[in-house]
Amino acid sequence: MAREPIQFYNRYTKQLEAEKIYGEGWLRFAYENPAGRFFLWAFAKRWLFSWYYGWKMDWRSSSRRVLPFIIDYGLEDAAHTEFTKSVFDYRTFNEFFMRSLKPEARPIAPGDDVAVFPADGRHLVFPDVDRAGGFYVKGFKFALEDLLGEGELPVEQRELAGKFAGGAMVISRLCPVDYHRFHFAAAGKAGVARLIKGALYSVHPIALRRRIEYLVQNKRMITLVETDAFGTMASIEVGATNVGSIIQTFPEDFRVKKGEEKGLFKFGGSCVITLFEKGRIMFDADLVLQSGRCIETFAKMGDRMGGGKRLKG
């Protein structure tokens, strides 16, 4: 049986493109094969599996993977123009994976009432999370209460779920090939990152098309930001298979700038979810169009994703 390709819309080329999937054979075995799903349940979703893989990526010998990875995934131009280090200066694969970029490599879209993507990746936007007909597959959705870690609380105690009811959401999926630091989508005062423990399933569409609830079952961290233009914003970093570490680098309980670094992931694919209060942001039309078709849009951190109104007072 022919494998269905994973396609995304490239915002820069204006074309649909097929994703070159890192570890595709393993992903399809784990999520599409009955034997693989047993292995997933028994081992792969657990932290020890991801810890061991991440540990290997910290070995000095793992640096030998860097150059072949760059060639296989077409990162040669980025290595010359964006990376702050020479390809040969990364001591481990994890060091390369967590690489920083030159500031000019990711210009931040201007405007006090403009929100930007928090990470490089493939993005889905939903103007009304309560009415979204589906995420990666039509009709497949998860409960906001579960995403925010309030699923077990009585309805009257679900403060965050109530705050973001009817609000807007962005799902930003990072592939292993992507720059793996995440940033603030808007300026404001950032609170303290809250950890919600969970499993480590893959967040690739191959997995999410089978069970979207993986996004709310995985380990994640939630930070509330009182923004200048969009009211309260929630930034949620979601761990995944081989991404056991979500590292926060921002100063908690402090003002942050739009596009300022918030943290980074260690090796693997991962995901950032951004929530806005109801009526506070209008996403750009191209993003809404593609998301309505369950097609992700590729865009880089700092690129514009929508605009809103500045708070008065």
Instruction: Give the residue numbers annotated as catalytic, written as ranges.
Output: 120, 183, 270
Longest Cα–Cα distance in the chain: 60
